[in-house]
Structure 1
Amino acid sequence: MSTTSEQITDRRSPHERVAADLRDEILSGVVPPGAVLPAAELQQRFGASRVTVERALDLLREERLVAACAATADAAASDAVVLAHRQRTMRPSRSLAPADPGQPFRWVTEARKRGVRADCVVLEVEVVAEPPAHVVRALGLGVGSPLLLRSQVLTFDDEPAGLVKAYFPLEIVRGTAMMERRRVRGGTSTLMAELGYPPLRCVDCVSARIPTQEQQALLKLPHGVPVLRTFRVVYSDGDRPVEVHDTVESGHLYELQYEFTQA
């Protein structure tokens, strides 16, 4: 139960606050899969009304974190059972290298190692005459430099999980398979390496954001779920920036893991 001072500063509705506490406990493993959440006990714990608890559980059902309990003699209709959460741990550093010959790109390979059926759907491939200024700056190009934009949706087990907008200098990719509206065999990193621009270093800026209307629609996000936004700049020989990936990932499906060693 939140303290009085916390309730004053938390401007969310009561059912959103209850759902937030339960969500955190489920995702962190405090409440394991298979555990029953009796509505009556939740009302007492949070000092909340029956309607508030039911609305909180409705939010968690929409996120597929809980489900209605099977009808039993001692289970109320509004009780819920905790499901195994679907948040997957992905390691961005392992998706940088080009794919092995004949293999799909690294993101798919890494997801499959974790038992996830991963795939991607190409949305659009187009030359952007006036790309976003922050992307142009990241690539070290002048204002008005056209870029190739490749947009695609990443899926986990056929469920939208990420939206990627990848930008490339037109002078590098012009006339290549990158310009075609189809998936590139082995991923764009593989083709860039074949073109003489192997990915050697990347810099990621990660932040949590409220989804835009486009992101909400394409990722089919449950109500109130944020997105993780990763702005990645990929560098090649001579520390030249050659790619920018602006990616948003569903907050309830993604966890990013980074590993560091002492320099």
Structure 2
Amino acid sequence: MSTTHPEPSDPRSLHERIAADLRDDIMSGDLAPGSNLPSTAQLKERFSASNATIQKALQLLKDEQLVVGRAGAAVTVREHRQRTIRPASHMAPVAPGKPYRWLTEATRLGTAAHSTLLDVTETRPPADVTAALGLDDTETAVLRHQILYIDSEPVELVKSYYPLFIARDTPLMAKRKIRGGTPTLLSELGHPPRLSVDRVSARVPTQEQHRALNLPSDLPVLRTLRVVYSDDERPVEATVMVKAGHLYEVQYEFGAG
């Protein structure tokens, strides 16, 4: 005898489900930056919802800064809210005197970017970073903690860890920015980046992440653990990067073979 399994239900409230569907339309490009959302009447028909429920869904998207608009006027998808991150473009060292590639890439896309160095300290890394760097449970590493901004908005929380045998008595331990970025400095120190491996997961934001990134709700963040290897597959850097999951996608590029 066959068994019929009930269809799983979505426990979220209706306005949260409507916001989720519209958010997906925005992130996939079906609702492009600068375009208007369907009218309230069209949304009421599409989702079989009341005017109040539609307005609550739209307010969620406004709070997330995905759309702009006011009551009684068209609601528009905000320009430049969805960004594609290309990790491979940030790995290589830059020429002397040139800015870090992340800043160059942001400028190329027509945005103003800068970073703020929050702290530089010697600390015991989290367990996954400890394992990635090949440290034992008692070893410490140098942490460089910063936050990245685009157009004055916080977009990414970055914690980079370096083994002491690499960082000791170098600019990595100084509480100031590194001109050209750490890929350039690591190359100058004899540890040129050869391979970068990313582990990406979606997580509920921690309290620190929620505050630092000024997140509107408990939407997931994208957490990337990036391990950079030098010659002989030696790990020289492990970085934990956290960004708002509803505003970003990560693009990876692979060659054939």
TM-score by length of 2: 0.92
Partner Cα separation in structure 2 for residue 223 and residue 19 of structure 1:
13
Corresponding position: 1:225 with 2:226: no
1:259 aligned onto 2:253: yes
* Within-5 A mapping of 1:48-127: 48-68=49-69, 77=72, 79-127=74-122
How many residues end up aligned between the 2 structures? Answer: 252
1:162-173 to 2 correspondences below 5 Å: 162-173=156-167
TM-superposed CA distance for 1:116, in Å, is 2.1
Q: Deviations over 1:169-211 (max 9, x none)?
A: 0121111111111111111111111110010001111111111
**Aligned 8 A contact 1:168 1:243 in 2:** yes
Alpha-carbon distance between aligned partners in 2 of 1:188 and 1:113, rounded to the nearest angstrom: 21
Tell me if structure 1 keeps the 8 A contact 2:223–2:242: yes
Residue 31 of structure 1: aligned partner: 31
1:152: how far off?
0.4
Map of 1:212 onto structure 2: 206
Show the counterpart of 1:20.
20
| Selected match of 1:147 from 141, 149, 155 | 141
Distance 1:132 1:255 in 2: 25
| Residue of structure 2 in register with 1:198 after alignment | 192
- Take 1:224 and 1:56, find their aligned partners in 2: how far apart are those partners? 15
Match for residue 44 of structure 1?
Answer: 45
8 A Cα contact 1:161 1:253, kept in partner: no
User: Equivalents in 1 of 2:41, 2:47: separation in Å?
Assistant: 10
Contact 1:27 1:85 in 2 (8 A): no
Secondary structure, aligned partner of 1:148? strand
Aligned identity (percent) is 51
Q: Mean alpha-carbon deviation: is it higher for 248-257 or for 186-195?
A: 248-257
Structure 1 runs (4+) deviating above 4 angstroms are 5-8
* Residue in 2 that maps onto 1:10: 10
**Unpaired stretches in structure 2, ≥5 consecutive residues:** none
Instruction: Write the distance in 2 (CA, Å) between the matches of 1:118 and 1:182.
Output: 17
Letter in 1 for 2:23: R
Q: Is the 8 A contact 1:208 1:229 kept in 2?
A: yes
Superposition RMSD in Å: 1.9
Residues 138 and 84 of structure 1, relative CA distance in 2, 3 Å threshold? same
How far did 1:44 drift? 1.9
